[in-house]
Structure 1
Amino acid sequence: MTESRNHPMGAAFLLAQLGAHAANRFAARTAELGLSPADVGLLRMIAARPGRSQQSLAEDLGVVPSRVTSLIDPLDRAGLVERRRSTGDRRNYELHLTPDAARVMDDIARTAMAHEADFTSALDPDQRKQLIALLTVIAEDQGLSPGVHPGYRGSSPRPPGAGTSSGCH
C-alpha cells in the first residue's frame, strides 16, 4: 500500500488499532462491574433469548458446547445465570438470567452507553450514523455474526474474497 501524508495507515490497520483500544477501554469499564467483556456478551445474548439452550448459544458463538459450559459456570456461580432443565428435552438445559442479573443489565447498559459516547465523541450524530453504516457493510461482507464478538471462538481469518456482498443475514 502506498502511504500518503494524509492517510499514513490503511483502513484495516486503523480498525485493528481502534478495535484494540476500544476493547481495552471497555474491559476496564466492565471490570468495575466485576465482569469481563465476554461475560457482558453472554448476558446480553441470554437476555435477548431467555430459555435458550446451551447448545444454541454454542452454535451462535461458533464454539463447542463444552466451551459454553466453561463460559457460563462463572456467571452461574455469581448468581447471574441459572440453568433449568428443559421441559421439552430433559437432556438440555435452558439458560435464564436471575433477578440479580436485571440490576447488572442496567449497569451494563449505562456502561455501554458511556463507552459508546466517549469512544465516538469526536463525531457528530450524522458522522456516527455513517460510521456505523459503513462498519456494518464491512462486517456483513466479512461474514461476521451480528452481535457476536469473534473472540469467543478465537476466530481465524477468512481467506481474501471469502466475504459476501449480498448483505443478507
Structure 2
Amino acid sequence: MNSSRQPHTTDTAAAAGPRGAAFLLAQIGAHAAERFAERVGHLGLTPADVGLLRMIAGRPGRSQRALAEDLGVVPSRVVTLIDGLEGLVERRRSAEDRRNYELHLTAEGGRTLGAVSRAAAAHEDALLAALDPDQRALLLGLLERVAAEQELTPGVHPGYRARG
C-alpha cells in the first residue's frame, strides 16, 4: 500500500469543510433568513419590517421610546423604521405624555400581519420538513435554552442593533 496516497487526518478534516453546531446554526440561519426574506418580500416587506409589526401587535400602544429600548437602538432610529411602515402602523399621541407617540397597527397592518403569519408557518414547515413533530419540539426547546443562556432578548432579532 502506498502511504503517500492516504490523506492525513488533518487533511481529511480540512477537506470536509467546517464542522460543528455553531457552523450549522450559522449556515441554516443564513439559509432560513434568505428564504424568509423571499416569502415576505412578496408582501412588500423586509424581515425587519415583520419584526416591528409583530412587536407592535404584541404590545399595542407601546411608545416609540419603549420600542427603541426593546430593540437596543436610539429613538431616532425607530422613527425611521416606523416611517417605512406607513399605512401599516399609526402613531397616536399619548394621553399621559403628549411628547410621546404610541404605536398601533392599522386595519391594513393587521391584515398584512395575518398574511405574514401564514407565510411564516409555511416557511417553518418547509425549513423543518425533515423533522417529525416531536423532533421539532425538541429542537425548539434546545434552541430556546441556547438563546436564554446567551442572554438574547426573546422575540427581538439582534440584527436591529447592527442597523444603526
Q: TM-score, normalised by structure 1?
A: 0.85
Confirm or deny that 1:114 pairs with 2:122: yes
Confirm or deny that 1:22 pairs with 2:38: no
Q: Distance between the aligned counterparts of 1:119 and 1:8, measured in 2?
A: 21
* Secondary structure class of the residue paired with 1:84: strand
Aligned length: 152
Q: Distance between the aligned counterparts of 2:16 and 2:83, measured in 1?
A: 49
For residues 81-96 of structure 1, the aligned pairs below 5 Å read: 81-96=89-104
Deviation larger for 110-119 or 4-13: 4-13
For residue 82 of structure 2, the aligned residue among 69, 72, 76 is 72
2:57 aligns to what?
47
1:13 aligns to what?
23
Deviation at 1:105, TM superposition (A): 1.2
1:137 aligns to what?
145
Task: Between the two structures, name the one with larger relative contact order (CA 8 Å, sep ≥ 6).
Answer: 2
1:104 aligns to what?
112
Greater fraction helix: 2
Is there any run of 5+ residues in structure 1 with no aligned partner, and where? 156-169
Q: Distance between the aligned counterparts of 1:52 and 1:73, measured in 2?
A: 16
Deviation at 1:103, TM superposition (A): 1.1
Q: Distance between the aligned counterparts of 2:138 and 2:118, measured in 1?
A: 23
Q: Distance between the aligned counterparts of 1:144 and 1:6, measured in 2?
A: 31
Confirm or deny that 1:59 pairs with 2:76: no
Question: 1:63-84: per-residue Cα shift (whole Å, max 9, x none)?
Answer: 11111111100102xx000001
1:162 aligns to what?
none
2:48 aligns to what?
38
Question: 1:48-76: per-residue Cα shift (whole Å, max 9, x none)?
Answer: 00000001100111111111111100102
Deviation at 1:7, TM superposition (A): 10
Is there any run of 5+ residues in structure 2 with no aligned partner, and where? 1-9
